[in-house]
Amino acid sequence: MPYHNVAEFLLLNANRYPQKTALICRNRRISYQDLNQKVNSIANGLLALGIVPGDKAGYLLPNSNYLIEVYYALQKIGAVAVPLNSRVISREIEFLVYNSQCRALFFADFLAPKVQEIKKNLKTVEFLISAGETEGAYSLEKVAALGDISEPVIFRDEDAPSRIQFTGGTTGLPKGAMRSHYAEISQMLGGMISSGVGANPDEVVLIHCPLDHHAGHSWFNYTLAAGGTLIICDSLQPDEILSLIERERATYLLFLPPSTYLRVLDCPSLADYDLSSVKLAQSAAGYTSPEIIKRICTGFSNCRMKYGWGQTESGLGTSLIFTLDMVEKDVPELASIGKPMPFIELKIVDEDGRELGVGEVGECLSRGPAAMGGYYNQPELTDSCLTSDGWIHTGDLMKRDEYDYFYFVSRKKNMIKSGGENVFSQEVENIIRKHPAVVNCVVFGIPDRHLGEAVAAVVQLGEGCAMNLKQLQEHCREYLSSYKKPRYADFVSVLPMDAAGKIRIYRLQEIYKEKFKNQS
């Protein structure tokens, strides 16, 4: 491979298209040359501080040019990027920073109170760096001023770690997927081929999803590697998004989950905008439906919808392009998550690891050059996830048809994709069970028009105890990020069990998705 560091693509396009707009963020336009020079100044400033290859650097940054600049600066000098969800609570930040052994922590100024609250507990952190001005921390601008705009010697080792991306687990503890430069570049190339975004450097890609997530991270890499223009949205304001699409002639959209498109297309002034430039609407991280596909393909008149499945661990996944014609013909593939993308193998196996045939349901395993190398500092979890010949246990139950289309059946680990965020049932269940009135509970996801999936709970209360949804949510807020709290709940004296004494979660989902629909 001629490239050994993911940041080499940014440098390539800074040389090819120096004056071309690379980023549009909050009405600010940044050229490829200016972006690369800012990246260089931050990279050189970090070197001056003493950051060395292999050092981990976390960042708590919302969607912004700062996140892009910090990420590429870390890549150029061989430091390891650790994106952190800016919505997490202080105790979660503390755990994630310690778990990944971060030596530096970047944060937005509005998150300063959270960071200050746990500052004394961040034992591994030597450098706190604020995107604003925070007492007791370096400012990002002052770090950049320590360096200059000259090109640093780019760290070139494709096998070295590039990023630790946290994803959840069935135990409720996040897992840090280690992704090398080789894996990142392989995933980037596979995604560009699959989406077509790499075929034309004039593509304009508008992203409305967290850039600290794997999908957002992947798509900003695709866009800037292709020499396109990236529009970063930091809030869901339909009129503002529609105006950006029209003014900048956006060609690609990335909204997560699929239902987010409906929130934009429900804008009362939709007909006032020229949206004809959009040719592909990408989505994942939630369920879709013929209704959603039809709305997208009619709302954006020249558009097709691309949908798929993937994981941080696998890097790549499956994809399928939906058209209005497919909806009108009601083709079976509408229920599919698509075919494997380039550079990834998928197979479906039974509990004993034997590969299953067409139509048989089993766990999907993945393998390819874009896959993670394991979980950072978690060897037992790595061993349970990775086989000796490189296959990854996805934890997802699927089946495939004779044409190699894959169909998602359910999650073995019962993860909920709510508003594009990963919520793990067992983590929420463990917190609910802390309440003295609770005997037991079950947490699961149900379809939700706005969030894709919503967190729902059926809670068994002790004799003589009472609780309502608001009280449950207040309890959860003490221990969890707000987006993880149940949106719907029912309180029962006994949880339904089968003859084997097991709670059938998927049966509860069927029952309660209708019951909770009336509460929405």
Contact predicate 203/251, CB 8 Å: yes
Answer for the pair 337, 406: CB distance below 8 angstroms, yes or no: yes
Q: Are residues 299 and 428 in the same domain?
A: no
- Of 293, 322, 351, which residue sits at a domain end? 322
Amino acid 499: pLDDT: 42
489 SS3 class = strand
The H or E element that residue 52 is part of is none
Q: Which of 277, 305, 322 is the last residue of a domain?
A: 322
Which pLDDT score is estimated for 258? 86
Q: Are 296 and 174 part of one and the same domain? A: yes
CA-CA-CA-CA torsion for 356, 358, 359, 361, nearest 10 degrees? 20
How many C-beta atoms lie closer than 10 Å to residue 135's C-beta? 7
Please choose, from the candidates 146, 138, 6, 119, the residue with its C-alpha nearest in 3D space to the C-alpha of residue 72: 6
Q: In degrees rounded to 5, what are phi and psi of residue 301?
A: -60, -25
> How many domains does one find in the chain?
2
Token pair recorded at residue 348: 């479906």
What's the pLDDT at 401?
A: 96
Instruction: Name the residue type at position 341.
Output: M
Helices (H) and strands (E) counted in the chain, each on its own, are 16, 26
φ, ψ of residue 425 in degrees (nearest 5): -55, -45
Pick the closest to residue 233 from 224, 225, 241 (CA basis).
241
CA-wise closest residue to 280 among 309, 260, 255: 255
Measure Cα distances from 148 to 5, 39, 481 in Å: 21, 10, 39
Cβ neighbours of 106 (radius 10 Å): 30
Beta-strand relationship, 317-322 and 339-340: antiparallel
- If asked whether residues 420 and 274 sit together in one domain, one would say no
Q: Answer yes or no: is 353 within a domain.
A: no
Q: Does a structural domain hold residue 348?
A: no
Please tell me the distance from the alpha carbon of residue 224 to that of residue 469, in angstroms, as a whole number.
45
Here the CATH number for the domain that contains residue 35 is 3.40.50.12780
Nearest-10 Cα torsion for 454, 346, 214, 223:
-120
Are 191 and 70 members of one domain?
A: yes
Judgement on whether residues 443 and 314 belong to the same structural domain of the protein: no
Handedness of CA 159, 161, 164, 169 (dihedral sign): positive
Identify whether 381 is part of a domain. Answer: no
**396 within domain boundaries:** no
Query: What's the CA gap between 21 and 280, in Å, rounded?
Result: 21
Query: Which pLDDT belongs to residue 520?
Result: 54
Cα–Cα dist 42/11, whole Å? 15
Domain membership of residue 181 (yes or no) is yes
Q: Based on the fold, state whether residues 302 and 434 are members of the same structural domain.
A: no
pLDDT at 169: 46
CA distance 247 to 321: 26
Residues 150 and 297 in one domain: yes
Residues 62 and 181 placed together within one structural domain of the fold:
yes
388 found inside a domain:
no
Identify the domain containing residue 246 by its residue range: 8-322
Cβ atoms 397, 412 nearer than 8 A: yes
C-alpha to C-alpha distance for 498 and 501, rounded to whole angstroms: 5
pLDDT in tens, the chain (520 residues): 688 999 999 999 999 999 999 999 998 999 999 999 999 999 999 999 999 999 999 999 999 999 999 999 999 999 999 999 988 888 889 999 999 999 999 999 999 999 999 999 999 999 999 999 998 999 999 999 999 999 999 999 999 999 999 986 434 568 999 999 999 999 999 999 999 998 889 999 999 999 999 999 999 999 999 999 999 998 889 999 999 999 999 999 999 888 889 999 999 999 999 999 999 999 987 778 888 899 999 999 999 999 999 999 999 999 999 999 999 999 999 989 999 999 999 999 998 999 999 999 899 999 999 999 999 999 999 999 999 999 999 998 899 999 999 998 777 767 788 887 878 777 888 899 889 999 888 898 888 878 888 999 999 999 899 999 999 999 999 999 989 999 999 999 888 765 444 566 767 777 887 788 666 5
Distance in angstroms (rounded) separating the CA atoms of residues 159 and 134: 36
In a domain, residue 223? The reply is yes
User: End of a domain among 283, 299, 322?
Assistant: 322
pLDDT at 500: 41
Which residue's entry shows tokens 């894959």?
A: 406
371-387 CB burial, b ≥16 within 10 A, e <16: bbbbbbebeebbeebbe
pTM: 0.84
Q: How crowded is the C-beta side of 344, counted as CA atoms within 13 Å? A: 33
- Assign residue 464 the CATH number of its domain: 3.30.300.30
Asked if 426 and 278 sit in the same domain, the reply is no
Are residues 313 and 419 both part of a single domain?
Answer: no
314 and 428 share a domain? no
Q: Are residues 307 and 420 in the same domain?
A: no
Residue 344 lies in a domain: no
Longest CA pairwise span in the chain (Å): 72
pLDDT at 170: 39
